[in-house]
């Protein structure tokens, strides 16, 4: 089976712009979670989607949003980018209480 | 809320030696899962080992084993016969099953360097 894929792998944006990241889960996995990884805060949970519904959300501002499509692919969107949003964004698909991670999208905000 | 603490920010070990990474956690739950993930310089997060809290037997995966002490809320990872490819960040993580959520709570990580 193919693993979790994330696109794009690298992204450079400027403050105030918005960005959309994409995640395709492992075939058959219906749950997709997103995490933000920074040197200062470590790995923090953003949100989780299951069958197109958000069923859990971390403590992030409303600028961070996501959605999931009927084929389980998920997108996350960050509006009005800030310098502090520079991070590695990891997506994970889940089944049977295990999460499998994608390679991440490295976002740099200038 | 659950918390996960890794008290060793950095560690090093000689190739072929054994090293133990520490992890403690705080929870009021009785049923949960614990994980160790490895993140090499490529940044790909890889599952190393998983432990279910209701299982008394410590999990083992080849050269990797855990010492799970439920009463002490401790979950350490032992790497035997360390190899250069074990050089990576290691994260301890907690998952509370139920309510259909797979959310993981991570520790801050331990950077492990294997020295030739």
pLDDT by residue for chain B (116 residues), tens only, comes to 789 999 999 999 999 999 999 999 999 988 899 999 999 998 889 999 999 999 889 999 999 999 999 999 999 999 999 999 999 999 999 998 776 788 999 999 999 999 99
Q: What is the largest CA-CA distance in chain A?
A: 39
Residue A70 has pLDDT above 80, yes or no: yes
Is any Cβ of chain B less than 8 angstroms from the Cβ of A97? yes
- State phi, psi for B11 to the nearest 5 degrees: -145, 155
To the nearest whole Å, the CA of A59 is away from the closest chain B CA by: 12
Each residue's pLDDT tens digit, A73-101: 999 999 999 999 999 999 999 988 889 99
Residue A67: how many other CB atoms lie within 10 Å: 15
Each residue's pLDDT tens digit, B81-93: 999 999 999 999 9
To test the contact with chain B by mutation, choose from A26, A30, A37 the residue with the greatest count of B C-beta atoms within 10 A, namely A37
- Inter-chain residue contact A50 with B100, CB threshold 8 Å: yes
Predicted local confidence at residue B99, as pLDDT: 64
- DSSP state, B39? E
Placement of tokens 């083992």 in the chain: B60
Predicted local confidence at residue A19, as pLDDT: 98
To the nearest whole Å, the CA of A66 is away from the closest chain B CA by: 16
- Inter-chain residue contact A56 with B42, CB threshold 8 Å: no
- Measured at the CA of B87, the angle between CA B81 and CA B89, to 5 degrees, comes to 120
Residues 6+ apart with CB under 8 A from A50: A30, A31, A32, A68, B100
Beta-bridge partners for B112: B11, B88
Chain-centroid distance of CA B101 in Å reads 20
To the nearest whole Å, the CA of A29 is away from the closest chain B CA by: 12
């Amino acid at each position: 089976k193919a693993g979790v894929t994330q696109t794009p792998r690298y992204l450079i944006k400027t403050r105030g712009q918005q960005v959309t990241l994409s995640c395709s889960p492992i075939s058959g996995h219906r749950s997709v979670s997103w995490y933000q990884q920074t040197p200062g805060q470590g790995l923090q949970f953003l949100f989780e989607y299951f069958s197109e519904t958000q069923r859990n959300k971390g403590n992030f501002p409303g600028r961070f949003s996501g959605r999931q499509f009927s084929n389980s692919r998920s997108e996350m969107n960050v509006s009005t980018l800030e310098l502090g949003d520079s991070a590695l964004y990891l997506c994970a698909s889940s089944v049977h209480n295990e999460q499998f991670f994608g390679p991440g999208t490295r976002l740099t905000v200038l | 809320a659950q918390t996960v603490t890794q008290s060793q920010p950095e560690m090093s070990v000689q190739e072929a030696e054994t090293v133990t990474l520490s992890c403690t956690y705080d929870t009021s739950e009785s049923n949960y899962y614990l994980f160790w993930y490895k993140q090499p310089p490529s940044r790909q997060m890889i599952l190393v080992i998983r432990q279910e809290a209701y299982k008394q037997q410590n999990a083992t995966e080849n050269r990797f084993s855990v010492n799970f002490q439920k009463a002490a809320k401790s979950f350490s990872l032992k790497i035997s016969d360390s190899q250069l490819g074990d050089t990576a960040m290691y994260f301890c993580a907690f998952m509370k099953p139920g309510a259909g959520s797979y959310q993981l709570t991570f520790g801050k990580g331990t950077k492990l360097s294997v020295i030739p």
